[in-house]
Structure 1
Amino acid sequence: MNRKTLFEQIKQKKSFLCVGLDTDPAKIPAHLLKEADPIYEFNKQIIDATQEYTVAYKPNIAFYEALGTKGWESLQKTLEYIPKSIFTIADAKRGDIGNTSSLYAKAFFETMDFDSITVAPYMGIDSVKPFLEFKDKWVILLALTSNEGSMDFQLTRSAEGKPLFQEVLEKSSKWGTPENMMYVVGATRGEKIAEVRKIVPEHFFLVPGVGAQGGSLKDVAKYGMNSECGLLVNSSRGIIYASNGEDFAEAAGKEAKKLQEEMAVLLDKYLSL
């Protein structure tokens, strides 16, 4: 999916919501466990209930590969069920030397046909470049995450006083373009989102941390929105586990609608959509 199509979806739905499909067998409703493929059935019903309100789905690959071949089958079926008009993100956090990265890129972009993949930048350009060679596919590079351990490295400063995340942004923005590279920027650091936006004014951000992790949607929009929205805000647990009963899909739909309505107000405020 290209940038123009993604922005059109944002305008049409008045939403920049991404629903994280972090589907854990231990958390899905008990009545689904009798299904031949409980993971897929759960995802299918979540997609049915939320697709009106979201512009992206993000399966976290760990939840599927932990289940072996059955998990990969559930993931593939889920991906095929997602409407083609909705952006798909493989939250795989890959990053390795060039020839290995080329195979990861082929796996997720050709074999599985995801629109994008999260990638770790630590090994440098030769670990990222293979993912950038596919038309209308995206690298979503880890830049400034919201986990507690992010301070171990991302905020450490060079001899010139520049934090590492800033070095990553400045250097990597020359590898790709706003048409094929996004950045992961955690929602729990509002003022830091503003710093990142100054360095990469045109790129899209994938923003985790809203909802269960305490990030503010209003702050994300205030500090991160650009002229084409430039944001995909992810919510996983807050939507897909809104209920653990037989009404789980209905509850998920209500939570997604609630976020979409908040996003519509923010889009009208900042972009007059």
Structure 2
Amino acid sequence: MNKQLLFEHIKQKQSFLCVGLDTDIKKIPKHLIQTEEDPIFAFNKAIVDATADFCVAYKPNLAFYESLGVKGMESFEKTVCYIRENYPDQFIIADAKRGDIGNTSEMYARFFFDVAQVDAVTVAPYMGEDSVKPFLIYPESWVILLALTSNKGSSDFQLMEDAQGERLFEKVLKKSQEWGTDEQMMFVVGATQGKMFKEIRKYAPNHFLLVPGVGAQGGSLKEVAQYGMNDQCGLLVNSSRAIIYADNTPDFASFARREAELLQREMADYLIDKGIIPYKS
């Protein structure tokens, strides 16, 4: 999916919501474990069916599937196939945080883009250009580089300054733009960073930003939109636990739908304020 088509979907849906499928076998409703052959897939299918009207992207986190071995990876691939077949307008992100020497990264890219056929994969930039470029050879597939994350330890390295006062995340933003353009590269910026989005936009004014941390991690959607939105929206804001674990009864999907709709309505207001979609009385 190219950048323009993603933007069109944002306008059509009046949403820049990404639903994170961080599906933990220990947290899903117990009735699924008791009745379903593949409870992870059954849970994901119900969540996707309930929320697809209100989001433009899904982000399965690979750790939750890899932790279950082969069966977990089968659930991941079945989930991606189900979204592809039933909701082809959805942007699918494999949250894998890969990054290794060139030939290893080439194998990672081959799996995610040739086999799993996702739209994007998150990549750690620490090993530099040759660890990232193998992901960029696939037309209309995306690399999402970690830049300034939402976790507590993000300041351990990402905010470190060199002798000239340049912070590490700034180096990542600037250097990586020598490898790919805003047509194929996004950056991860945590919602908990608040006003730091103004700094991010100085270095990456036109790139899409994948923004985790809204909801359970306490990030402010209002601040993200105020400081991070550009003329083409430029945001995919992820919410995982606040949506998918809103309830653990057999009616869990209805609660997930309600939470997704609330976020979509708020996002529509910010898109109107920015002039990206028209106001409707």
TM-score, structure 1 as length reference = 0.99
Instruction: Provide structure 2 residue ranges, at least 5 long, that are not aligned to the other structure.
Output: none
* Structure 2 equivalent of residue 235 of structure 1: 239
The equivalences for 1:183-202 within 5 A come to 183-202=187-206
* Structure 2 equivalent of residue 74 of structure 1: 75
The equivalences for 1:15-26 within 5 A come to 15-26=15-26
The equivalences for 1:159-178 within 5 A come to 159-178=163-182
Q: Are residue 139 (structure 1) and residue 143 (structure 2) matched?
A: yes
**Aligned AA (1:139):** V
Instruction: Provide structure 1 residue ranges, at least 5 long, that are not aligned to the other structure.
Output: none
* Structure 2 equivalent of residue 100 of structure 1: 104
* Structure 1 equivalent of residue 29 of structure 2: 29
Is the CA contact 1:92–1:117 (under 8 Å) kept in the aligned structure 2? Answer: yes
For residue 79 of structure 2, give the secondary structure of its aligned residue in structure 1: helix
Question: What is the deviation of 1:21?
Answer: 0.1
Q: Deviations over 1:5-27 (max 9, x none)?
A: 10010000000000000000100
Inter-partner Cα distance in structure 2 for 1:195 and 1:272? 22
* Structure 1 equivalent of residue 6 of structure 2: 6
The share of aligned pairs that are identical, in percent, is: 64
* Structure 2 equivalent of residue 262 of structure 1: 266
* Structure 2 equivalent of residue 213 of structure 1: 217
Inter-partner Cα distance in structure 2 for 1:214 and 1:74? 29
Q: Deviations over 1:22-78 (max 9, x none)?
A: 000100001101200000000000000000000000000000011011001101110
Question: What is the deviation of 1:252?
Answer: 0.1
* Structure 2 equivalent of residue 62 of structure 1: 63
**Aligned AA (1:14):** Q
Question: What is the deviation of 1:272?
Answer: 4.0
Inter-partner Cα distance in structure 1 for 2:3 and 2:143? 13
Inter-partner Cα distance in structure 2 for 1:90 and 1:213? 20
Q: Deviations over 1:97-152 (max 9, x none)?
A: 00000010000000110000000000000000000000000000000001111111
* Moved segments of 4+, more than 2 Å: none
Is the CA contact 1:229–1:271 (under 8 Å) kept in the aligned structure 2? Answer: no
**Aligned AA (1:217):** L
Question: What is the deviation of 1:84?
Answer: 1.6
Inter-partner Cα distance in structure 1 for 2:256 and 2:225? 23
Inter-partner Cα distance in structure 1 for 2:244 and 2:219? 18
Inter-partner Cα distance in structure 2 for 1:144 and 1:272? 26
Question: What is the deviation of 1:211?
Answer: 1.0
Is the CA contact 2:11–2:276 (under 8 Å) kept in the aligned structure 1? Answer: no
Question: What is the deviation of 1:160?
Answer: 0.7
Query: How large is the RMSD of aligned CA atoms in angstroms?
Result: 0.6
Question: What is the deviation of 1:271?
Answer: 2.4
For residue 51 of structure 1, give the secondary structure of its aligned residue in structure 2: helix
Question: What is the deviation of 1:214?
Answer: 0.8
